[in-house]
Structure 1
Amino acid sequence: MPEDASLRQPPTSAHPARWRDVLCVLPHRDGDLARLDELAAADAPVVTVIGKYNHGKSRLLNELMRRDAFAVADRRQTIQLAECRHAGVRWLDAPGLDADVAGEDDRQALRAIWLASDIRLFVHAAREGELDTAEQALVETLRADSRRTRCETLIVVTQADQMEDDDALGRVVSAIADQVPGAGLHVVSSTRHRRGLEDAKTLLIQRSGFPELERALADALARVPAARAHEARLLRGEIRAELETVRNAEAETLASLRQQQTAQRHAFDDGLETLLAVIGGDMEELVSRAGPDLALVADTGRERYATTAAKLERARIQVAYSRACIRLDGFLAGHGVSGLPQEQQTAAGSLNTVMVAVMGVSVKFRADLRRVFCEEAGRARLLAAFAHYFELSRSRAALRDRIGESSVALDATDRARATLPPDAAP
């Protein structure tokens, strides 16, 4: 792409439905897709004259066509893109650059340059001196595009007859040549050419500069078919390569996200399983103590304020259970698992935790601790329950959303790639 994208890209245009998928992935390729449409539908070569208002563009075209096809006046005349077919060529007369302060003329002119043209005639009036900054920037962009796409640009210095003498004209031409080195300038006078034709004065026609310009234009027209084929291949190749780059990046992102998703789940499962095994080992000593479960022995009224074996047993069980829950809660917090999903929450905020949802709030006894922490079935239930809430956590949901978005983007890129015609297509 040329460095100045604002000059290279034409205004957004309506595209056939076949480009919708490509535009979804590469919206900045709007102008190139529009150009591909033009190339596919083009028949006659297209020559566009471009330049500032009142620099002799319309008159130049009239002389090249040997007919007054485009209106000429001292005041601003060309206010929209004008077209005429002659000698198997489509001739376009674009509005003058900078003629419309609102910019509509410039947009039409640039659209004609980038979408329709096979050959651009950049016109500058000799009486204006060297190119201004905007003209020079446009010429440089046109030349860069010519090297890239082979859409040729001829620089035409008009109104040579309006200079006071040949020396003054030579100074202007030399200054412009320094601004665009190696471009090759065509210095012409439409007035001399018209008088030469009307009076049958061959010398005047030669002095008008038109014979040399016409030869250069004829050579450029002969190269149009090959240039069009080159440009179509170029644009399709660039777009296909960019889509491939985007696809590779999306595929890499998707693979990375899925790997992250799997790694997170493995880390959670392995870590939780290890922790439950450790807790189970610690609980085994408590629940396997000889004798009955004294925690089940109810206290009598006389023992309300006394220290009893039953109370001590219940305290040991509660401490062991609390420590297990604290360790589990810390592990879950480290993996982003804490609060319940919105649909499971209750008015009692203190109950809206994963630990309460899985472990409950009831008092535990030896048999409960054995069943929950020491038996394989109990640990498996905890693993499944905590894993369920792990998958419902915000971080896991966000990761799934990112995976879904990446997958959609990858599918969109694949559809866009399938849209592009093969290189053999016109």
Structure 2
Amino acid sequence: MPRADIFDQLEHAVLPVLPGRAHELARLRALHEQEGLSTVTVIGKYNHGKSRLLNELLGEDRFAVADRRETTQLSVHVKDRVRWLDAPGLDADVDQADDRFARQAAWQQSDIRLFVHSAKEGELDGRERRLLHKLSADADATRRQTLLVVSQVDQAGDDAQLHQVLGAIGQQAPGMALHAASATRHRQGIEGGKQLLIERSGIPALRAALARALGQVPQARAHESAQMKSAMHQELVQRQAALRAQCTGLQQQQAQQRRQFDLDLDAVFDQARQDLAEVMSTPGPDLALQPDTAADRFRLTTGRLERARLQVAYSKVCIQLNAALTRHGAIELPTAQHTAARSLNSVMVAVLGVSVKYREDLQRMFYQDAGRDALQRDFARYYEISADRQALAARIDAVRDQLAAAQTAQQALQTLDQLEIRT
């Protein structure tokens, strides 16, 4: 599979899980797609002599030189297996299009950075200092080198003034070697055949420093690649561990809620047997089954009294059941089961119905194991499809999906272990 396709799949798998690793993935892509070319990027403000300096380092005019802002996007030239990038100036335009190209060149593409500052501008400004600090920190972490070049030294006045400028910049960038250079002197020396002027231009010394830095690129790339992959592997491992713990916690919560629901229902059913004991143990025939005649229409018959007594006892049980269901959020029916009569859209009605209950019904429902199990099963079914339970189940599914995505991301990242960086 082409490397570009491998990285497309890698980014598709990893970025949704580790969105903060976009830079590392872009850098890894650059390392693998540069086909064995080392990349040197020149960065700095516009009109500080960056393009002219590159032309002298190359020994040929490949980059446009002008007194106005000329470089507004990445300019590239390849020579002797080195890829030279001339980035836009750090002082970006208002929409910061230049800045995007400069960041891409400095952070994603480059193996070596030439940070160019014109001697005639004096000390580094705040933005330059902040960027140099970031580049220095990156060099400590990735081993990518930054060479600080003070350019246009021929325009800095006399030697005393130049010495003062170099000293000030040296204090602003402690620990970094300064490379003083003049592209103009070097070109004059080349055209006039003046070897001393060529040496004084600083270009030969800068070329030698670049050659040493380029010799260290393969080891730096291997270190940087291993470091980035290790960091992402570690983050993915930690991510998976956190997701597993979260999933386990949610599943335990789900199981505990169900156990408590079953225990509460069992307690209500046990209490129902006690509350119904008096009406269920009445000796003799079931008077509630005695029908009323037309003559009994306005009379308080024994059958009517018995039926009322049964319904009062049954209503108390229903109140306890409804309270237990309410505590667990199993009250209303799912929307798909709603009827036009709102009073019927409850779990209690769906399971128990609205019919009058007689002793035979109560015996079957609360005293026979099969009836009690059926009630438990029906109430549990509506409990499991209640809004709170569905929300908890959705959270568990979402965490499982995130865990699967993290595992897929780690597998995709492991494919890079089989790819060799061409240096």
Q: TM-score when scaled to structure 1?
A: 0.92
Alpha-carbon offset, residue 54 of structure 1:
0.6
Aligned length: 413
Q: Which residue identity lines up with residue 83 of structure 2 in the other structure? A: R
1:133 matched to 2:126? The reply is: yes
Verify the 8 A CA contact 2:43 2:113 in the aligned structure 1.
Answer: yes
Aligned match of 1:189:
182
Aligned match of 1:26:
18
The counterpart of 1:37, out of the listed 29, 32, 37, is 29
What are the within-5 Å matches in structure 2 for residues 201-240 of structure 1?
A: 201-240=194-233
Aligned match of 2:103:
110
**Greater Cα shift, 276-285 or 229-238:** 276-285
Separation of aligned partners in 2, 1:302 and 1:105? 101
**Greater Cα shift, 203-212 or 116-125:** 203-212
1:347 matched to 2:340? The reply is: yes
Separation of aligned partners in 1, 2:328 and 2:376? 14
What are the within-5 Å matches in structure 2 for residues 67-216 of structure 1?
A: 67-216=60-209
Verify the 8 A CA contact 2:116 2:151 in the aligned structure 1.
Answer: yes
Alpha-carbon offset, residue 196 of structure 1:
2.5
Deviations 1:245-264 (A, max 9, x none): 21111111111111211111
Q: Which residue identity lines up with residue 217 of structure 1 in the other structure? A: L
Aligned match of 1:373:
366
Separation of aligned partners in 2, 1:166 and 1:288? 117
Verify the 8 A CA contact 1:281 1:374 in the aligned structure 2.
Answer: no
Separation of aligned partners in 2, 1:215 and 1:411? 51
Deviations 1:57-81 (A, max 9, x none): 0111111112222121222222321
Q: Secondary structure at the match of 1:16?
A: helix
Verify the 8 A CA contact 2:9 2:412 in the aligned structure 1.
Answer: no
Aligned match of 1:11:
none
Alpha-carbon offset, residue 130 of structure 1:
1.6
Alpha-carbon offset, residue 38 of structure 1:
1.5
The counterpart of 1:274, out of the listed 264, 267, 272, is 267
Separation of aligned partners in 1, 2:211 and 2:348? 84
1:48 matched to 2:11? The reply is: no
Separation of aligned partners in 2, 1:150 and 1:306? 102
**Greater Cα shift, 222-231 or 208-217:** 208-217
Q: Secondary structure at the match of 1:31?
A: helix
**Greater Cα shift, 23-32 or 393-402:** 23-32
Unaligned runs of 5+ in 2: 1-5
Deviations 1:3-27 (A, max 9, x none): xxxxxxxxxxx95234311122122
Verify the 8 A CA contact 1:287 1:367 in the aligned structure 2.
Answer: no
Aligned match of 2:236:
243
1:337 matched to 2:337? The reply is: no
The counterpart of 2:313, out of the listed 316, 320, 334, is 320
Q: Which residue identity lines up with residue 316 of structure 1 in the other structure? A: R
Q: Which residue identity lines up with residue 40 of structure 1 in the other structure? A: H
Alpha-carbon offset, residue 181 of structure 1:
1.6
Separation of aligned partners in 1, 2:146 and 2:89? 17
Deviations 1:236-283 (A, max 9, x none): 111111111211111111111112111111111122122212212322
Q: Which residue identity lines up with residue 225 of structure 1 in the other structure? A: P
Unaligned runs of 5+ in 1: 1-13
Q: Secondary structure at the match of 1:84?
A: strand
Aligned CA-pair RMSD: 1.8
Distance 1:302 1:99, change over 3 A: closer
* Percent of aligned pairs sharing the same letter: 51
Q: Secondary structure at the match of 1:25?
A: coil
Q: Which residue identity lines up with residue 318 of structure 1 in the other structure? A: Q
Separation of aligned partners in 1, 2:369 and 2:59? 98
Separation of aligned partners in 2, 1:312 and 1:177? 105
Q: Which residue identity lines up with residue 310 of structure 2 in the other structure? A: I
Separation of aligned partners in 1, 2:286 and 2:384? 38
Verify the 8 A CA contact 2:330 2:386 in the aligned structure 1.
Answer: yes
Separation of aligned partners in 2, 1:215 and 1:178? 24
Verify the 8 A CA contact 1:317 1:364 in the aligned structure 2.
Answer: yes
Q: Which residue identity lines up with residue 81 of structure 1 in the other structure? A: L
Verify the 8 A CA contact 1:188 1:210 in the aligned structure 2.
Answer: yes
Deviations 1:193-222 (A, max 9, x none): 222333333332332222332222111111
Distance 1:99 1:353, change over 3 A: closer
Q: Secondary structure at the match of 1:155?
A: strand
Alpha-carbon offset, residue 307 of structure 1:
4.1
1:358 matched to 2:347? The reply is: no
